[in-house]
A and B are shown apart, each in its own frame.
Chain A
């Protein structure tokens, strides 16, 4: 998600004797789209400004009126429900809502899971509340042209979920990298990211089901850096989740940072994140966004992952020690089996490098 801390103009309106606000996104990939939220979500969380949006998620900055703390409020920007409304398909409409709302629930579960296992480098999932979504009750155009249709499932209208998270302070890593940062500092930052991966990559057995996760969307936009380079990994909505070997959430990934297998619809191994760690380390040290390397490729229109030969190894060698270059080469190997297997291996490699005097 690209964050824009802008304060757009929000319109207030009343719906069922309660106050709501309607805002419009004025930048980024969702420019022009509007969202509707209660003025006080669950009577407690007051949205104050637009923060960011991605595929179908919306992030608002807000305030918890009970604790006075700043919070981030995550909700759904759109459900893709218009097609179902067009055909007055209320059941299809509900299925679509279920699919998207469960993704937010999964994101909360992943964050809870990580926090409970000692990952202080992820935002705290403070609350998970439900409230009305008046936008869903607005009249939809139907296939009959001028005729309109209204979704009237009261339970669904009033059960819009909102994930309330700690507002993470610091700077986005994207804003720090610039023309490249010190190799030693880069390794230190990524070591903390990989500490989260160590936990995330361990299969989770719950109620006779085994969950396997890959973060999948590691990129500088998803890493916040605070004082003393304290790291927070954000946006767990992009995780690929498989349950007993079957994908239950495909998540998201970013061209340039993702390995070749992300483009498939099958299960991916934690070694997919090793590729992103290598790509990130390359970006941090050289200042060159791996996405730019795709533009050099002949098949750039379809390729999402940088081929091994397309990385600018000379540029990297000028700025990094031999040990770091070797690690990046290992991480961005095109075959998953040639990469570090998981977060634990990555952590060990980075800790060793951090302790070495050569960097």
Chain B
């Protein structure tokens, strides 16, 4: 599909002295990367330092990590309809600062992105205002109503990268069955939320913590039942299916079994569910009210195991901007969700620093794996691939402050958190869209 960055990419940039990490090939070594006209032209040791034309610059990476830009497959944006929470422009700034070079925008907007014209609107707005690639996902059901299929063919033709009802679970099994069947004809990917609505009336994980806080719980079975049902439907229809955001240990077993059975399924998890648990809610902190809810530590550990063994494919920010009106409320009355684009890499690196998941595997779940699943060419450092890259220091310590966030909403679960590892530079199509140092190249 057409690239959405508006102006022409710079002609030549040479990134020298980098620790190159490419999760797709598993390469981890020292070298240089030459970028020409927005694409990676050459990767190697000691590439010639003299450029061909006038628009040529050398960027010294000083031994820091150069990796593919992050691909975030679950991001909620306020525009259109909720611009006070987040606009396409503000989400792009946040993404650039977080090292996210491509993001999939969920269709839960007002109006809902359920029509080819609205997909075109998002792409047009993104082309004008965004520094990163914003890839719209289209609604599975018209108006997210959960009853009538939207026009998958036309939506895909207009540029929708996936079909999803966003944060809503498709409760109607017949609709899900038809959607999986019909989407197969267009090779479209169904991305599904998996929270059985009739069991999801609570506001946090069901269990002792919820009982102690006097809050209604969401049992793990709400997710397990929805996911099991979908696995049966995938087996029945041979559809392409991605579970957007899982949270329980049993879900990991279900996905593993489905993959072993040869189904075309993949699974994602939000970084919050991989790094936090229900105890973090503490005294009713609404910024930890998330969907799916933060669950027990045993669930978190099982998901880390699944990340290592490959059952879990993708890490997402689940970026969901909410303003004070929806968050500064009693816990049970507040909205779900937290922003996450700007903390995605640093929070993910916690899994590496804690020695739970190897660095290349963490990066693969943030780059190559989602790119491949969405059919994108990015997410890798290879000659001919788009020059969407990040430069980061995997070790720099810093403290996240909500006032420093570029997102229009500041509902982060990581306020005051100590982080290790920080983005230095974000490059989209060879152009630096974010840099911690002022020398924009």
Q: Do A and B bind each other?
A: no
B residues apposed to A, CB below 8 Å: none
